[in-house]
Structure 1
């Protein structure tokens, strides 16, 4: 069951709901079904959203190598 974000058109309450494909969500505040699905955004943690550089692979390709030094891409 996916989690969706909604905004109620009647009372403007914003909430998340775990929704099954055969159910219609309702606002937990006013019980209206006049909802607008919101665009979900992903959060990051830490002061920087950058990903640290990975060490080079033994084969020099920069690809992820297999345990024991074998390259999974060559």
Structure 2
């Protein structure tokens, strides 16, 4: 289940909630009980090193199966 980050406008607390994507825009009360919150935009960092060799030719999939 995705985690969403919110900030309370009353006390300034930042908190996360796990909820279905369909409820991502639903109101969320802060842990102190304040109702005036806003959903924050989160950034996702993806990194890593691939151990697979890079395709040198063969089309979009690298295996030559694409026309």
Aligned to 1:12: 12
Deviations 1:4-51 (A, max 9, x none): 111100111111112353x632111x11111011111012456xxx87
Matched residue SS, 1:12: coil
Structure 1 CA distance, aligned partners of 2:18 and 2:2? 6
The alignment of Structure 1 onto Structure 2 pairs a total of residues equal to: 62
Higher share in helix: 2
Q: Give the structure-1-normalised TM-score.
A: 0.58
Give structure 1 regions of 4+ aligned residues with deviation exceeding 4 angstroms: 50-53
The structure with the largest alpha-carbon Rg is: 1
Structure 1 CA distance, aligned partners of 2:61 and 2:4? 34
Selected match of 1:25 from 25, 28, 32 = 28
Give structure 1 stretches of 5+ with no counterpart: none
Structure 1 CA distance, aligned partners of 2:41 and 2:50? 24
